[in-house]
Amino acid sequence: MFLKALLAPAALVGLASAVALPPSNGLDLSTHSLNKRTATMWTWFPPIVHATPWKYVGCFSGDAPLTYHVADFCSCHNNANSKHMNMEKCFASCKAAGFRYAGLKGPNGAKKCWCGSADPAEYKLPSAGTCNVACGDGEGNLASKYDIKQCGGQTSYSIWRDPCYKRKFDIDNAPLGYESAGCWSGHGGWLLAHFEKSVSGDNLSIDSCIEACSANGYPYAGMRGGWECFCGGRLSPHFVDVHQKNPNHNTMCTKVCTSTWKVYATTPKEEWQYCGGDVYYSLYFNRNLAAATTCNADDDDDDEGGTKTVSKVVQTVTVTKGGPPPKEATQSFDSDKTTRTTIT
């Protein structure tokens, strides 16, 4: 179990320093049902337009693992984006939420944009013949970056990737790179864009959530309510602001993970795991999987992700290593909401 390595002295100062402990008089248990989870994700990730151009990957079947329709996380606050999706808006929106891949499909004038981080390679079609519906007019002043003829088909995706993410990473060892970033509020929305249903439910642990997020290269893993696992490439700027104003949320992450709940009676309390609160996330971050807003993408280095130099790293978070718990760590923010990483 890699959590022991994650929480070893070389990484953190033990579980008590990584997450808040519940009241000494008992458990804070989560009550939940996967069938009752009906809320839609509305948290708005402001589009990042001025980023390194995305790279075309190819034509893929409609079964490609693109899990989030852009309207799910931007239409509430920017209805114009849902009326006519184009390449510029699609990539800017997927970039904002930290996804590795973006895909377009549908008729001209009614394109739909989907985002995801799982590798779509097995769904690639042998030819681009079914991705033959051009985007046409309305691409905006950034259209020169892309070929508007590569814009998907009626049911097939044209897919691009963010070159600032490294395509190759060590899946086996990636879980060991996560460190606690503290307890973060998600009240009124979602801190992270991807709900990982494969491990959410009656057997959630810190281990299982981090393993699931790391498998698709997400730098952030967050547990909420004791039973929910979320992953993301970026944090919602709204909740970055909330955390900046009130970083001392650690006492709110007191829900034991559902895997702990099953064995708490026979498990020493110091070995219990905690998975956030009702509207709070126990957040973990792997800096080695994070991407920049802009990078020097080398066209001849596709297999390595094309990342030669990084001009600006965005949204790294403070973690603790051999020092005080997250609530005592310091953070600094630039005017553009960039968070400087500080190890204490």
Which residue, 105, 149, 163, 125, is CA-closest to 297? Answer: 163
Same-domain check for residues 35 and 72: no
In a domain, residue 105? The reply is yes
Q: Give a yes or no: residue 45 inside a domain.
A: no
- Return the H-helix or E-strand segment holding 339: strand 339-340
For residues 301 and 5, give the distance between their C-alpha atoms in angstroms, rounded to a whole number.
33
Is 200 in the same domain as 328? yes
Domain annotation covers residue 123: yes
d(CA 289, CA 214): 8
- Token pair of 248, please? 């001392």
Q: For 297, phi and psi rounded to 5 degrees?
A: -85, 115
Residues 8 and 83 in one domain: no
- Of the candidates 219, 225, 217, 229, the one whose C-alpha atom is nearest the C-alpha of residue 319 is 219
Residue 250 burial (C-beta neighbours within 10 Å; 0-12, 13-18, 19+): buried
- Claim to verify: residue 156 and residue 187 sit in the same structural domain: no
As a whole number of angstroms, the distance between CA 320 and CA 169 comes to: 23
Same domain as 196, residue 61? no
Residue where a domain stops, chosen among 161, 178, 213: 161
Q: Specify which residues 307 forms β-bridges with.
A: 297
Is residue 72 a part of any domain in this protein?
A: yes
Residues 134 and 10 in one domain: no
Q: Supply φ then ψ for residue 18, to 5 degrees.
A: -80, -40
What does the pLDDT profile of the chain (344 residues) look like in tens digits? 444 434 332 332 223 333 333 333 344 544 443 333 333 344 468 888 888 889 999 999 898 999 877 764 433 334 444 456 678 888 888 999 999 999 998 887 778 889 999 999 999 999 888 898 887 655 555 556 787 778 888 889 999 999 999 888 888 889 999 999 999 998 878 899 999 989 999 999 999 999 999 999 999 999 999 999 999 999 999 899 999 988 767 789 999 999 998 888 888 888 899 999 999 999 999 999 998 888 886 643 454 333 333 334 445 455 433 323 333 322 222 333 333 222 22
Report how far Cα 286 is from the mean position of its chain's Cα atoms.
11
Q: Containing domain of residue 63, as a range?
A: 55-161
Same domain, 179 and 73: no
On whether both 114 and 190 belong to a single domain, the answer is: no
23 and 132 housed in the same domain: no
Same domain? 208 vs 328: yes
Burial 33-59 (b: 16+ CB within 10 A, else e): eeeeeeeebebbbebbeebbbbbebbb
Q: Which of 105, 130, 161 is the last residue of a domain?
A: 161
Question: What's the DSSP call for residue 77?
Answer: T
- Is 20 part of any domain? yes
Query: Where does a domain end: 127, 161, 195?
Result: 161
Domain count of the chain?
2
Please state whether the predicted TM-score (pTM) of the whole model is above 0.85: no
Radius of gyration of the chain (CA): 20
- Residue 107, classed as helix, strand or coil, is coil
Task: Let me know whether 198 and 335 are in one domain.
Answer: yes
Q: How far is residue 293's CA from residue 278's CA, in Å, rounded to a whole number?
A: 32
Q: Which pair of tokens denotes residue 21?
A: 């402990």
- Let me know if residue 142 belongs to a domain: yes
Give domain status of residue 46, yes or no.
no
137 and 220 together in one domain: no
